[in-house]
Amino acid sequence: MRPSGIGGQAVMEGIMMRNGKDYALAVRMPDGTIHVEKDEYNGVIQNKKLLSLPFIRGVFNFIDSLYLGTKTLMKSSLLVGEEEEEGEEMTEDEKAKSDKLFVTLVVTLSVVFSVGLFILLPTFLSNLLRRVIPSLAVLSVVEGLVRLLIFLTYMILISRMKDIQRTFMYHGAEHKCINCIESGLELNVENVRKSTRLHKRCGTSFLFLVILISIILFLFIRVENVWLRMLTRLLLVPVIAGISYEFIRLAGRSDAPIVNIISKPGLLMQKYLTTKEPDDSMIEVAIAAVEEVFDWRAYLNGEDVGSACPITK
């Protein structure tokens, strides 16, 4: 399979698809029509040299993915909602500044919540066993197991929510579209339907890698004091994100046995938790999003029309 370089994510009743700076949001409206809009996102950092550095680029790409994902998720929620709240009208410039501030706040709170739940809480909980487990090595293993348990429990719980299940169906449609193109097939409902909904560049795989790499890394960095231990965990978060991104980037381009083995747990999570088989109406929305930002016909003819691989969520 030749990588296309496109990626995106599922949103409320729709798909966001990104190719380089261009991104498209396609949403199935309450009246049954498909609303599609296209825009540009330049990222938090425009320095090309910085964004080309291995490991460093992963941190900024992850931030961009969170920001754009949150922005389009909020937009899709407004589109499928019954009506917007009434209030004092704002100019386009004021609305853009307000939206940017709100999205930034949501992303910041999401990062703080995630770091607290998946990084700091396992460290704190494992430290409660310090008196019965004197070995820092064993304690690090326990901390890793607690971290993995919290992550899996969280994913299982959210996967049972009704609204999330529909989003996971759109998630499946997004993956199936990308896999259809990368398998060399024309992008239509029939070909997409028979394509796999699992993809190695998925955000689910990225998150699992973050957990796995953190477990391995923290095994070798042992600190007696629990507060200093938490501080080292915090400082290593960008390092972990950078390493995880590089592997996801490699996984999207390689079918090497070792890459496939490491990718397997993330693919299993996609299969049983974070992606569901979509219906044809969802596939139509995903196709609309892809066609707005990606010339798949030129791609199938061998032309390079994709960007560097973003994470697909």
Between CA 4 and CA 111, with CA 308 as vertex, the angle to 5 degrees is: 115
For helices 56-80 and 92-115, angle between their N-to-C axes, nearest 10 degrees: 120
Closest CA to 38 of 294, 268, 302: 294
Percent of all residues in the chain with a pLDDT value above 90, rounded to a whole number: 71
What pLDDT is recorded for position 83?
A: 46
Q: Parallel, antiparallel, or unpaired for β 14-19 and 7-11?
A: antiparallel
Q: How far apart are CA 194 and CA 70, in angstroms?
A: 30
Q: How far apart are CA 243 and CA 214, in angstroms?
A: 10
Q: What's the mean pLDDT in 59-72?
A: 92
Task: Grade residue 99 by pLDDT with cuts at 50, 70 and 90.
Answer: confident
Cross-strand pairs, 14: 11, 27
- For residues 18 and 6, the answer to whether their CB atoms sit within 8 Å is yes
What pLDDT is recorded for position 119?
A: 92
232 token code pair: 């080292």
Q: Which residue ranges make up each domain of the chain?
A: 7-78+96-300
Q: Provide the 3-class DSSP secondary structure of residue 279.
A: coil
Question: What is the tens place of the pLDDT at every residue in 141-171?
Answer: 999 999 999 999 999 999 999 889 999 999 9
Q: Is the pLDDT of residue 86 over 70?
A: no
Q: How far apart are CA 268 and CA 200, in angstroms?
A: 11
Q: Is the pLDDT of residue 217 over 50?
A: yes
Q: Is the pLDDT of residue 23 over 90?
A: yes
Question: What is the tens place of the pLDDT at every residue in 101-138?
Answer: 888 888 889 989 999 999 999 999 999 999 899 898 89
- For residues 294 and 20, the answer to whether their CB atoms sit within 8 Å is no
Q: Provide the 3-class DSSP secondary structure of residue 134.
A: coil
What pLDDT is recorded for position 308?
A: 60
Q: How far apart are CA 204 and CA 274, in angstroms?
A: 7
Q: Quickly list DSSP for 68-106.
A: HHHHHHHHHHHHHSS-PPP-----HHHHHHHHHHHHHHH
Q: What's the mean pLDDT in 244-260?
A: 91
Q: What's the mean pLDDT in 14-26?
A: 96
What pLDDT is recorded for position 310?
A: 60
In the predicted model, what is the mean pLDDT of the chain? 90
Q: Is 194 exposed, middle or buried (0-12, 13-18, 19+ CB in 10 A)?
A: exposed
Q: How far is CA 130 from the centre of its chain?
A: 35
Q: Parallel, antiparallel, or unpaired for β 34-40 and 22-28?
A: antiparallel
Q: How far apart are CA 92 and CA 311, in angstroms?
A: 30
Question: What is the tens place of the pLDDT at every residue in 188-203?
Answer: 999 999 999 999 999 9
